[in-house]
Structure 1
Amino acid sequence: MLRSFWSGSSNLDEWIQQTLRDGFDGLEGPIPKTSEQRCKLREKLNEHRLVYVAEATTGVDGDATKDWWIPRREFTIQNHLDDLRWSVEHAVQLGAMFVSTMCGYDGWSWQQNVEFFGKALALEKEAGIAISFETHRSRSLFNPWITRDLLLEFPSMKLTCDFSHWCVVCERLIDTEWDVLELCAQRALHIHCRVGYAQHAQVSDPRAPEYTQALEAHEKWWDLIWRNQAQQCMSETTMTPEFLHDGYMQTLPFSQVPVANLGEIVCWMTQRQRQRFAKQYG
């Protein structure tokens, strides 16, 4: 179980302490921009024996003050590939388990997607570190069907499965697309265990009874991934309870006070999924 940078402190020392205090096995987050910051992160990971998943975000304006993670339409396939290469090269230096990336653009044509993912997979082979492509709104894998078609086109392509995004894009819990979920489970390397529903990519609080159906649906999808990973004899599986602020967490009008405690939710989800996994696999 990994602690997301986006649900913790932006200060590295505080983020590490939160990770250790709450019993996580490692970190998932963006690669620091400066060599000094990267050296410090590597030292902390080694000191505390924490694993690290490097997060890569392509085709964005990193200097934007708002919605910086949204891909810019004017950025080319080569811009996205350059961003991914930078992340991959530094992830190797940091000893990351793998790279999980929000990449591509939801407005690309089929041929543009084929060109990008073909070159991204060549980069993966060249660098010798796995790249896991996240199912995410505004990105190439923003819906189940384009994801299905790309997985069929590229048999070596691996996924970071965050199905919460598809729930809001499709405006329904996606049990209707079980054949796609089965294919995704066969390619899943990593899970973001946030719970979404038809109108939002994050329920306000997954502990609330009104979200029981959504929670149990997501857990059924994660169970499908675990079963496939077990059948493939994978020695380990990774999961990040990626509940966030930044518009994901609902707030009260005018005051903008969050309607639930994000830290409590992250820890509750972590313990729940650990218990579920232990019950099924020991």
Structure 2
Amino acid sequence: MKIKFYAPLWGNTLPFDAFCQNVKAAGYDGIEMATSFDTDETQTILNTLAKYNLELIAQYWQSYEQDFEEHIINYEKYLRNLAKAKPIFINCQTGKDYFNFHQNQLLFDLASRIAAETGIKIIHETHRGKSLFAAHITHEYLMKIPDLRITLDISHWYNVHESLLDDQQEAIDLAILHTDHIHSRVGHPEGPQVNEPQAPEWKSVLEAHLSWWDKVVETHQRNNTTLTVTTEFGPYPYMPVLPLTQMPLGNQWEINVFMMNLFKKRYL
């Protein structure tokens, strides 16, 4: 098997060229990000990625619309636009936690049709507020839609279930079998992101995440498939900050590079 690593554009404040240069120097294979509806702007992004020999994972997160009919129209618009950039795949925060099963299934079905038409794989992220917001809910979707492939961001489920997921074994085991991509953020029962994964007070939480990631890696080793990982620790408000000054309690870039190197040391 092979593991490839991607940096999130989320939180970056550097010019895109400088960011890409840092991403390449750190040892990443590419960047996960949304693309623009402006053709020239997207082409500039693609040219810069090519300059540094970096791959693109396209990202959809803009699921704002409460009205389902409006939502599905915009969902298709965004996915078709992302597919034009020819990413290695599209990662989607699909649907809403308050849409019913049928509504979210219509979105999954639409994504499958777009993937078939464009040749760009589309997978769906386990994210709070979206269709796959909880382990037991995701289990239901995977049982009923067995070809659904996911991005496992298990940090969200730690927060949603307010636990280390010891009582969600069956649901997570099934999710692991459907996982193509990992977001390697470390969450905890009271939040989606610890302030510093190397800190000893978070050791048990980090080890709990690693125990699930071990199983994802084992599955890809067994199937001889490529696993992709985005080290998606984020900025404020995911990153805890001090009151009044709003100074972050950790360095987002350094934490993400640490997570990549932790995976490389453990799995490569």
Short-chain TM bin: over 0.9
Query: Residue 174 of structure 1: which of 165, 177, 192 is its match?
Result: 165
Provide the secondary structure at the position in 2 that maps to 1:148.
helix
Query: What SS does structure 1 have at the residue aligned with 2:166?
Result: helix
Instruction: Give the alignment partner of residue 27 of structure 2, picking from 3, 23, 29.
Output: 23
Aligned length: 264
1:80/1:130 CA distance change after superposition, 3 Å: farther
Q: Give the alignment partner of residue 206 of structure 1, picking from 191, 197, 202.
A: 197
Task: Work out the CA distance in 1 between the residues paired with 2:254 and 2:149.
Answer: 31
RMSD, aligned α-carbons: 1.6
Q: How far did residue 117 of structure 1 move? A: 1.9
Identity of aligned residues (%): 29
Q: CA deviation at 1:119?
A: 2.6
CA distance in 1, matches of 2:213, 2:245: 36
Higher relative contact order (CA 8 A, sep 6+): 2
CA distance in 2, matches of 1:164, 1:116: 24
What residue is the counterpart of 2:238 in the other structure?
248
Gaps of 5+ in 2: none
Trace 1:1-282 onto structure 2 (pairs within 5 A): 1-9=5-13, 11-60=15-64, 72-73=65-66, 75-76=67-68, 78-234=69-225, 236-278=226-268
Moved >4 Å (runs of 4+) = none
1:118 deviates by 2.4
Quote the Cα distance in structure 2 between the aligned partners of 1:32 and 1:110.
Answer: 30
TM-score, L = length of structure 2: 0.93
Deviation for aligned residue 1:10? 5.6
Q: Measure the CA separation in 1 of the matches of 2:219 and 2:173.
A: 9
Listed as ranges, the gaps of 5+ residues in structure 1 are: 61-71
Displacement of 1:53: 0.2
- Give the TM-score taking structure 1 as reference length: 0.89
Letter matched to residue 220 of structure 1? S
2-side partners of 1:122 and 1:34: how far apart?
24
State which drifts further: 11-20 or 84-93.
84-93
Segment drifting more, 11-20 vs 153-162: 11-20
